[in-house]
Structure formats: C-alpha cells, structure tokens
A and B are shown apart, each in its own frame.
Chain A
Amino acid sequence: MMSDLDSLYQEIILDHYKNPHHAGLRDPYEAEVHHVNPTCGDEVTLRVHVSDGVVADVSYDAVGCSISQASASVLTDLVIGKPVDEAMSIHETFLTLMQGKGTVEPDEDVLEDGIAFAGVAKFPARVKCALLSWMAWKDATARSLEETHG
C-alpha cells in the first residue's frame, strides 16, 4: 500500500511541479486576477483569454508549493481549448473531488492528470493549495465573459 505521503506527492504531481505546462503570462487576455492563500502566502497571477465561447488561453505566474504549482499546470491542460461551459463543469468536478475528504472516486475521463490530486483531498491543510489557481481561473473567466459581453 502507498504511504499517505506518496499518495499526496504522486509522480504526476511532481512532474508537473518540475515542468509546469503553459506557465508565464501571455497576451491577449480579457481579465487578469491575483489570488493569494492568506494562511501561507502562496500567490498566483492568472490571465484568461476567451474567444467565441472557448477558453483560448490561460497563462499564469505562480509562487507556491508543489501542490499549488502542479495544480495550475494541470488546470491549463484541462481547460485550454474547451468551450467555457465544459471547462466550468470540469472545474465543478475538480472542486467536488477536492472537497470530498478522500471519499470521491475521481473520473479519469474528465480530470485526466487531475486524478492525481485525489490524495490531496485527505490533507485538509493542502486542499486550499490545490484550489488556488482553480478559484483564480473561475474568477478570471467570469470577468472575461463580462468584458466581452458587457
């Protein structure tokens, strides 16, 4: 059986941490947000570009632990190129997994590498790390839509 520590630090998470996907801030974008985790000070600046109802780009600059960094990387893999509605539903699925205290069976078809975070849900202190960029993305996407519609 895997130790708790190994279930937290899955190989996939460490890979994303060492080689984050879609990192850095890029143009164009409609909204940029800055979110912090007030307990530990982890921070992310995140930009969203929505075009024709599709998440065209998500770019970010993040300082934080392996969990928060890897989670930002996985987020971008999952939502870039998806229609906003579908991306929001992936967000919901990830949120449910993270808030499930380790009881939710992750759906690999939806979450892909995101299933590696199932172990994080058992560490209440780390759930916020995993959710930091996801919350920032939801916020920025909502603002992008306001920008383009309003």
Chain B
Amino acid sequence: MTQTQLAGLLPELEVIRADFPILERTVAGGLPLVYLDSANTSQKPQVVIDTMVDHLERHNANIARAMHTLGAESTEAYEGARDKVAAFLNAPSRNEVVFTKNATEALNLLARTIELGPGDNVVITEMEHHSNIVSWQLACERSGAELRWFGLTDDGQLDLSAADRLVDERTKVVAFTWVSNMLGTINPVTDLVARAKAVGAYSVIDASQAAPQLPVDVAATGCDFLVFTGHKVVGPTGIGVLWGREDLLNELPPFHGGGEMIETVTMARSTYAAAPHRFEAGTPPIAEAIGLGAAVDYLGHIGMDAIHRHEQTITAYALEGLATVPGVTVLGPLDAAQRGGAISFELDGVHPHDVAQVLDSRGIAVRAGHHCAKPAHARFGVQSSTRMSSYLYTTPAEIDALVEGLEYTRSYFKLG
C-alpha cells in the first residue's frame, strides 16, 4: 500500500503499527481492520501485553503484605508503575498518584469525598462525559448543593461569557474536560483553573481524552485534581488514575474502607494511611497498574509532542476528507489545531447506526450513538452522531478508507 506522506506524521509509522498486534487482524471476511475508535478505547502495544503476561507468569503475588520474594517483586513493580505515571504527569510527588478502576471511579471518588452543603455550588460544562456529570449530580442531590453549567458556543467552544456569574464565592468545585470526547474541543485549562483558584474552589480536570494525545503537565496546569483512564493511553482496562495535590488528598476523608488504606484498626475506631494508599482500599488491579506503567513508558518513549503532532496531522487530513463527502456535517471546531483527534459528524439522510453498520461491513470500526455526552448532543440539536477517532497508529490511508466508506454508505442508502 502506498502511504500518503504528510508532514507531521510520526516517522516510522509502519514500525509503530507493527507494535500493535491487533492491527494485523482481518475482519468482515478478510478485510484489513481500520480501527477508528481509539477515543473509545485504544489498542495495546506488544510491550504492554508482554509486561502483563510476564508479571502473571513470573512475579505474581499480592503487594505490600507478602513477606517473600514474589511479594517484594510484585510490590516493586506496582510502585514502579506509580513512579512512571508520576513522571508521565510531571507530578511533584509520587504520593499524588492514586490508582483507581478508571476515570469514572476517580471522578466519583472526588464527588463522594469533597464536602458540599446547601448554598454551595459545583460548576461543570455542557460538553462533559456522563461520568463528569452524573457523579456531581449525585453529590449535589445528596448535599443540597447547586449544579451549574458552562454553556457552549455554536462553534463548539466553552461559552465563558457568563463565567464571572457562574463561578462565585460559593463555588466549591469547577470540573471540566480538557479535551471533549464528542466535539474534540480543547478547553482553556489554565484559564479555568485560575477562575476556580480566584474563588477558592477546587479545580478538577478530566484528562481522559487529553492524556492520550497531549503532553499533560499537572504542575503547569496549576490544577488541584486531574483524572484519566488507562485503557485510552494504550494501557489495559480496569485501571485509572486520580492525581491530586498531596496536601489536598490528605485532607479528604477516605472513600472505600478496607485493607491497605488504614494506619491502624481497633474495634473502637481506625486511623487512615496517607495518600495514595488512603484511597486504595483492598487488593488493587496489580497487573493492570503494571501494564499502565509500561503503556505510559511506551508513549513517553515516542514522545507526547510527536504524538500530538501526528494526531493533529491526521485530524486535519480527516477534516479535509470529510468535507468532500456530500451531506457530512462535522460537530465541533473545524480547525485541527484547536481540537483533538475525535471527530463526530452527521451524514444527512443516514442514521449513525446505519453508517457504522455499513462501515463495519468494510472493516472500518467507528462509534455511533451519543458517546456518553447526551447534553452536548442536545445542545447541537442532534440525537446521536457517528464518531471517528484516530491515534498514534492511524494512517492517512485509513482516513481514505473511511471517506470511501462514507461515499459507499451514501450510495447504499441511495442518496445519489
């Protein structure tokens, strides 16, 4: 296959693709897989798979409580993964990295432990993933606090015109996504963090879509808390991260009670360990954490700046290609420099389910539906959309296949 050469693509893209064994498989009766659903979950490189298998084959033991060789090896690997994640985030301290099940659990942990009361308010945005909506809705229902929303402009940016009214002295939390999983919008995180800080509110960044494709530097953002999920950064499922400023983490009450999170337990009462173990009750997903460590190492080795450039290049190429298909309307910013690599669109006359089905028959995997962002869809008056999302292994030829697939979809549904 001849590859379109575009400035900004990762050099040695073919070598990177060879790291991902799944990209070799065929689907739909022998067609090559064109995987354009990485915002949903990314594929895994061999090194992540091997690291997890090696752990299970040779080093498996529980951590922190086994006084034997395997226990020591396992603990070292698990805590080593924490160091790797701390480096990936440029965290000032490894104690600030809490392993969770996923981003959703990390957000729920915060929504459960940050104290709210009647008269307080929490400000989120209309472009949040349901995990950063429902967790705060529940917290507000429990506490009597008010939930407020940043609206969106017609071109898919946050509408900050009412910011001074929304974020006030009773605001306890400002929680927002760095990169939208539906619109692709990249939000002005330092501005939002500064607004939270100015009123003494906690800032919470959902970096689930940012961590895969942008350099994330928690210190540079100035935020209080940041979450992401392992499976979107070429790591396994079942592992996510809550990063928080160490002093703040140690002020929060515990989330789950159990083993590993205590200092001492008596029948009268218990005292709790400091972060991160305070929030890691019970046996954690050990192999998954170690796999995540290998994943962020892998991304770091390629370089997040280079990955970001690749994503922008592919995104620009995809936006150009989509613009050639009659009836396609892209939701969200049209300038690739201002957005991430997830592009949601409508194809006039064909429902997203049907688009995805026809594409699947050609080996092309995209997502159809509301992408867990119903309020953002409602904002733009659409019930659902089709979403293509690229990653560091995506080639221009795969975008060509998508564009051809959409042309075919139109002809299949007799749209001329």
Contacts and interface: CB of A to CB of B under 8 A. Distances in A.
Interface string A21-42: 0000000000000000001111
A67 B353 contact: yes
29 contacts: A3-B361, A4-B361, A5-B357, A5-B358, A5-B361, A9-B354, A9-B412, A14-B414, A39-B369, A40-B352, A40-B353, A40-B368, A40-B369, A40-B384, A41-B369, A41-B370, A41-B383, A42-B353, A42-B383, A43-B383, A63-B383, A64-B383, A65-B352, A65-B353, A66-B351, A66-B413, A67-B354, A69-B351, A126-B357
A65 B383 contact: no
Count class of interface residues, chain B = 10 to 19
Interface of A: 3-5, 8-9, 14, 39-43, 63-67, 69, 123, 126, 129
B40 to A, nearest CB: 13
Nearest to B358: A5
B374 interface: yes
Nearest to B374: A41
Interface of B: 350-354, 357-358, 361, 368-370, 374, 377, 383-384, 412-414
A67 B355 CA distance: 12
A69 B352 CA distance: 13
Nearest to A43: B383
Contacts of B369: 39-41
A129 B384 CA distance: 14
Nearest to B349: A18
Contacts of B353: 40, 42, 64-67, 126, 129
B384 A123 contact: no
A98 to B, nearest CB: 16
A133 to B, nearest CB: 15
A23 B416 CA distance: 26
A66 B354 contact: yes
